[in-house]
A and B are shown apart, each in its own frame.
Chain A
């Protein structure tokens, strides 16, 4: 397993953590280690975690650190090679056949090829990071297809031959774990389960993302969000919700609302499910008072 040299200047997880911080992503040791190993070993990085813990953000930050563009492939049920790999421009091919008349043309030339994210990443492995987002939404057929791609980093286009990456591209996969991924996929990747951050780290994230938020507000919001996550809610607030809530409460406060009231009135940004709101409503005042203390 060749150790790669294309992560110049980053020779340890700590160095990567620092670089990620400069790209506005606060990583903990676990994710910094996993990302560093993925880069150094040339393996894909598989990030799993609840919605809203910053999986996609992590991929963006890695791309920023490496100074590469991010190619994103959003998965959905029924996604297939035509949407992920390449597609021929059929109308154009048909027109070309018509126009050619008796002359012979190559309808499988470069001009008729539509590049999709995976092919694009394969052709520019040194200047792109491929993000395969929410792989758990895709079906098992696509997962199997992906397995092949991730082990050899090559694609065969029947009409043109095999496209091989000149070096191993950086690939990040994310999953919300709405279903169990195939063991073989986990095996191919460097794996990290992203948990909700500690209160300390989350408060720093909130302040970094929303500069208008005061430290005391950030801490109160993070404490409240932490309490909400321990409740049996159908949709627990993620980091993005915490940031939004803190920002909204700050805005209301600037408009003249008093503190606990500003939190309470903007709860809709943290809890977005009617039943969850109803469930928590009777205890909301106590919960907010406790969090603000």
Chain B
């Protein structure tokens, strides 16, 4: 790009738009700003739409935040003031008939979705997480995760003593070194890769006592390994992976708390899982993954919906574990209709009553087989 010391004054309004985007959590690199300005120049620009599209193409807002981008654009370039909330991101799926599950107030109607009224009606409970009390279990997870989390055979090859393929590259090197004599044929084997993991956390009222620790645990897991996806469900289904990727725990948990607005409400597990499976992008996170549902399985809705969803989830997962605090006692037998129904479908129905128990299960997954 040119080395001009100052920018033309007209560029100021575009640069302040980029600053506005950054202030609203969009990651925009300086090179993208440069491209944005160049794009505007290229396009004329003959209309505001050109500028909007130039921004979309060069600043690359993630598609699920497109509505927020559009709003910020309107505010900045058209002086609209009616900005309410951050716009509904597509990472959040509202469940049908939400609100019937628990004792929270009835919802506003669909037309009013992103407005403040709906937000109030939902009695959004923003939750601040306290520091974790289960440091030991988390430290153990961080320490042992690279070794003991489940792995699968990947498709990338590495040299090995034995393996199905010949390592021609290495062999040729040796041939050159030995003046054309092939003394040994190098081999290649498949490299192990960390298996995908999916964690679905129940944040409804009945799990209230455990929610905080579960979120902390999910954060630790995300920090310790790649290929992890985390969702929360209650009256909504929310993808919190992005928020929990932030390194500092407090910051990450606050970001997640901000995103999830159905804390301690009712729950319709069947509907939540159905909603999860109905979004192809989400459903693909479960394929071949070690799936863990942390929930007490107290279903207020139709148990058969839950059974169908769990069956489907189980078919696409590598291994489906259901961790419930109810299983903490030694002689645990599922009692509720829903848990009895899914007992045969899940691969493990285990104790999820403490971080230590969940961590032990996580770390034992590496030795387990597909089911």
Hey, which bits of chain A sit against chain B, CB under 8 A?
Answer: 1, 3, 12-13, 29-30, 33-34, 36-38, 40-41, 43, 46, 48, 50, 76-78, 80, 82, 88, 90-91, 93-94, 97-98, 100, 107, 139-141, 177-178, 180, 183, 186-193, 232-236, 275
Q: A139-B156, A186-B60 are in contact. List 6 more A-B contacts (CB 8 A).
A: A3-B42, A34-B57, A88-B169, A90-B169, A107-B176, A139-B154
Report if B278 contacts A (CB, 8 A). Answer: yes
Q: A29-B53, A41-B38, A97-B176 are in contact. Are A235 and B280 (CB under 8 A)?
A: yes
Q: Please, how many residues of chain B have a CB less than 8 angstroms from a CB on the other chain?
A: 47
**Closest CB of chain B to A192's CB: distance in Å?**
6
Which of B27-35, B70-78, B217-225, B354-362 faces chain A? B27-35
Does B278 lie within 8 Å of A43, measured CB to CB?
no
Q: In the complex, what distance in Å separates the CA atom of A236 from the CA atom of B43?
A: 35
- Known contacts A13-B43, A178-B281, A141 near B175 by CB under 8 Å: no
List residues of chain A with CB within 8 A of the CB of B66. 193
- Contact at B53–A141, with CB atoms within 8 Å? no
Pairs across A and B, CB under 8 Å, 28 listed: A1-B38, A3-B42, A13-B43, A30-B56, A33-B50, A36-B42, A37-B42, A41-B35, A41-B38, A41-B39, A43-B35, A50-B280, A76-B155, A80-B156, A80-B157, A93-B172, A97-B175, A139-B156, A177-B63, A189-B60, A190-B57, A190-B58, A190-B60, A191-B57, A192-B56, A232-B275, A232-B277, A234-B278
Within 10-43 of B, Cβ neighbours of A (below 8 Å) are at 27, 29, 31-32, 34-35, 38-39, 42-43
Q: How far is the CA of A190 from the CA of B175 in the complex (A)?
A: 46
Shortest C-beta distance, B32 to chain A (Å), equals: 6
The residue on B at minimum CB distance from A51 is B280
Can you list the 9 inter-chain pairs with the closest CB atoms, starting with the nearest?
Answer: A78-B155, A232-B278, A191-B60, A90-B168, A193-B63, A34-B57, A78-B156, A33-B53, A77-B155
Q: How far is the CA of A98 from the CA of B178 in the complex (A)?
A: 12
Tell me whether B54 is interfacial, beta carbon within 8 Å: yes
Residue B341 is within 8 A (CB to CB) of chain A in the complex: no
Q: Which residues of B contact A275 (CB under 8 A)?
A: 312
Residue ID in chain A nearest B171 by CB atoms? A90
Q: Which residue of A lies closest to B180 (CB)?
A: A97
Q: Within 8 Å of chain A (Cβ to Cβ): is B1?
A: yes
Contact (Cβ within 8 A) A140 B42: no
In the complex, the answer to whether B154 meets A78 with C-beta atoms within 8 Å is yes
B274 at interface by CB-CB < 8 Å: yes
Cα of A123 to Cα of B128 in the assembled complex, Å: 56
**A30 in contact with B53 (CB, 8 Å):** yes
What's the Cα separation between A12 and B34 when bound, in Å?
19
Closest residue of A by beta carbon distance from B312: A275
- Tell me, in angstroms, the Cα distance from A260 to B144 when the chains sit together: 60
Residue of B49, B172, B277 near A234 (CB, 8 A) is B277
Tell yes or no: B283 within 8 A of A by CB: yes
Interface membership of chain B positions 141-166, coded 1 if the CB is closer than 8 angstroms to chain A and 0 otherwise: 00000000000001111000000000
Most central of A38, A91, A94, A233 by chain B CB within 10 Å: A94
Contact of A41 with B42 in the complex, beta carbons under 8 Å: yes
**Interface assignment of B284: CB less than 8 Å from any CB of chain A:** yes
Closest to A191 in B: B60
A57 to B351 alpha-carbon distance, docked (Å): 50
Please measure, in the bound complex, the distance between the C-alpha atom of A222 and the C-alpha atom of B66, giving whole angstroms. Answer: 25
Which B residues touch A187, using CB under 8 A?
A: 29, 31-32, 60
Return B26 CB to nearest CB of chain A, in Å. Answer: 11
Closest-by-CB residue of B relative to A43 is B35
CB distance from B104 to the nearest CB of A (A): 24
Cβ-neighbour of A78 out of B38, B157, B277 (below 8 A): B157
Q: CB within 8 A of A141: which of B156, B284, B312?
A: B156
B100 smallest CB distance to A (angstroms):
19
Q: Which residues of B contact A90 (CB under 8 A)?
A: 168-169, 171-172
**Chain B proximity of A38: nearest CB distance (Å):** 8
Contact of B154 among A77, A88, A177, A183 (CB under 8 A): A77
In the complex, what residues of B have CB within 8 A of residue A41's CB? 35, 38-39, 42
Q: Is B226 an interface residue (CB 8 A)?
A: yes
A106 CA / B56 CA spacing, docked (Å): 50
